[in-house]
Amino acid sequence: MILYSTRNREEKADFRTAVMRGLAPDGGLYMPDSLPKMPVSFWQELRERSLRGKARILFDLLLADDFSENEREEIASRAFSFDAPVVSLDERTHVLELFHGPTLAFKDFGARSMAAMMSVFARKEGDTITIVTATSGDTGAAVAQGFHNAPGVEVYVLYPSGQVSPLQEKQFTTLGGNITALEVNGTFDDCQRLVKDCFADKRIREARQLTTANSINIARLLPQMIYYIHAVAGLLPDGKNVSAEGGLARPVVCSVPSGNFGNLTAGLLAHRIGLPVRRFIAATNVNHVVPDYLSAGSFHPKPSLRTISNAMDVGNPSNFDRMLDLYGHDHQAMSRDIQGAWFDDPQTREAITDVWNRYGYLMDPHTAVGYLGSRQHTAENEQSLILATAHPAKFPETITSLLPDVLETPDQLLEAAAGRKQSIPVEADLDAVRDVLLKN
Ligand SMILES: *Cc1c(COP(=O)(O)O)cnc(C)c1O
């Protein structure tokens, strides 16, 4: 696969280069240079395949030039090793549960895919790849869990001491092995600055092949197409009645709880290669710069506001440039495919209670925002597919304040809570971080 930068279509890179760089040298984001368009029959034939089988088929379709057949199989089986079931609340409301991985959130799929791909690169080059990343909580957990035991990759997670919730801290400090947690005596901003400083430091760069694991990496984005394919293919009817919308009596509208819009962008890419989805709903909390763009046609980033769906508290979404690029900066074209919707915390709380009372189904605050979006924008003759991005047990305060006694804690959280924290305390300066990186 060849990729180009959203800042300049002539700035191209092969897949490996794009993955190792993260950002293009001109600061743009990488986008696939060309995508195949598959007929409806192609998606219908996938209906009976497992999630991992579908992953393999997508990798065959897009990454055949970049990985051998064995490598594609290895990546699919490492990254798509847990299921993403679709739960139907009623005949036209479906929930795609993306939270059965180690950190109970959809980011596990992207993080594990990227880890598997980097392991393949490291093996081919006979070198070790070092990931340095800063976290205020969630990202660190997904990256650490995703890369845990990935051969040829070492991960350093920098986090601000005392400023990460105890359970989140456990999710990335109890793993050991190739995951080292650096507990920084400073703030999250210090951690981010230190990561930048590591990349600028000659001695570290000479000693280690450094890369980042941030959410804009194309290796995290592309594999996220797979669960859309998985869910939509599963809804397609049998038989030869094949129309542009998959022969569905009720076409599918996907509602995506969004923050940096990586998840939604992956859905748009799946749509581009022909997956029969009628429309998308970009559902946000009060950080609604993208819904505002969709309704008004102008984009105004803002400082983020804190909400109970905090993984979507983003005021300047990093993947918005990719969305603009996909639609050639044509606002009308984008708003034909995507509707915006946003909701505040009281509405989100009410939705959690309402869904529980109505269906006996428990949603986390992010998924509840997606549910509200689908309620607002799905017509009678359509069906909605809501992406459930996190397990409700990740948000015990919110859930138990609304619905005491219904929350069950999954094994993943119990295991992390029982683990022993291992971290290396460091001062918030480059010398201290360099010492650790060069000594290990
Ligand atoms: C990261 C995250 C989101 C937002 O996903 P984007 O791809 O950034 O839009 C939504 N829900 C949860 C639980 C998340 O962790």
pLDDT digits (tens, 9 = 90+) for 27-80: 999 999 999 999 989 999 999 999 999 999 999 999 999 999 999 999 999 999
Distance 93 CA to ligand 1 centre (A): 21
Is the predicted pLDDT of residue 261 greater than 70, yes or no?
yes
Q: Is 246 exposed, middle or buried (0-12, 13-18, 19+ CB in 10 A)?
A: buried
DSSP 8-state assignment for residue 162: T
Q: Is the pLDDT of residue 244 over 70?
A: no
Ligand 1 pocket test: pick from 99, 103, 107, 320 the residue with the most ligand atoms within 8 Å of its Cβ. Answer: 107
Residue 260 predicted with pLDDT over 80: yes
pLDDT digits (tens, 9 = 90+) for 213-224: 877 899 999 999
**How far is ligand 1, taken at its centre, from the CA of residue 314, in Å?**
10
**Ligand 1 closest atom vs CA 366:** 11
Nearest CA to ligand 1 atom 1: 311
Res. 139: pLDDT tops 70: yes
pLDDT at position 242 over 90? no
Percent of the residues in the chain that have a pLDDT greater than 90, as a whole number: 85
Residue bearing the bigger pLDDT, 308 or 214:
308
pLDDT at 440: 74
Tokens representing 345?
A: 């915390």
Mean pLDDT in residue range 176-190? 94
**pLDDT confidence of residue 241:** 58
Q: What is the mean pLDDT of residues 291-315?
A: 94
- Residue 353's beta-bridge partner residues? none
Candidate from 366, 369, 386, 387 with most ligand 1 atoms within 8 A of CB, to mutate: 366
pLDDT class of 141 with cuts at 50, 70, 90: confident
Atom of ligand 1 nearest to the CA of 314: 8
| Cβ neighbours, 10 Å, residue 36 | 11
Nearest CA to ligand 1 atom 11: 389
- Tens digits of residue pLDDT in 388-409: 999 999 999 999 999 999 999 9
pTM of the model: 0.94
Stretch among 111-120, 214-223, 258-267 having the lowest mean pLDDT: 214-223
Q: Classify residue 149 as left (phi > 0), alpha (psi -120 to 50) or beta.
A: left
Whole-number Å distance, alpha carbon 135 to ligand 1 midpoint, is 15
Ligand 1 atom with minimal separation from the 262 CA: 7
Token readout for 70 is 């064995």
Starting from the edge strand earliest in sequence, which strands make up the sheet with 424-427, in order?
Answer: 209-211, 129-134, 153-160, 179-185, 424-427
Strand 93-97: give its sheet, edge to edge: 86-90, 93-97, 383-388, 252-257, 279-284, 338-342
Q: How many angstroms does the Cα of residue 45 sit away from the middle of ligand 1?
A: 30
Q: Report how far ligand 1's centroid is from the alpha carbon of 257 (Å).
A: 7
Cα 119 to ligand 1 centroid, rounded to whole Å: 25
Confidence of residue 416 (pLDDT cuts 50, 70, 90): confident
Distance CA 139, CA 159 (A): 11
Residue with CA at minimum distance from ligand 1 atom 14? 311
Out of 73-77, 97-101, 139-143, 340-344, pick the least confident: 139-143
For residue 367, the ligand 1 atom closest to its alpha carbon is: 11
Q: Residue 413: what pLDDT? A: 87
Is 144 in contact with 250 (CB distance < 8 Å)?
A: no
Mean pLDDT of 279-291: 98
How far away, in angstroms, is 439 Cα from ligand 1 center? 35
Q: Which residues line ligand 1 (CB under 6 A)?
A: 105, 107, 138, 257-263, 311-312, 366, 389-390
pLDDT over 90 (residue 417): no
**66 φ/ψ angles, rounded to the nearest 5 degrees:** -105, -25
Confidence of residue 412 (pLDDT cuts 50, 70, 90): confident
Mean pLDDT across 322-343? 98
What is the average pLDDT value for the chain, to the nearest integer? Answer: 94
Looking at residue 257, its pLDDT comes to: 98
Report the residue among 98, 217, 222, 258 best suited for mutation to probe ligand 1: largest number of ligand atoms under 8 A from its CB.
258
pLDDT at residue 50, as a whole number = 96
- Over 80: is that where the pLDDT of 240 sits? no
User: For a pocket test of ligand 1, which of 104, 135, 263, 386 has the largest count of ligand atoms closer than 8 A to its C-beta?
Assistant: 263
Which residues are registered as beta bridge partners of 12?
4
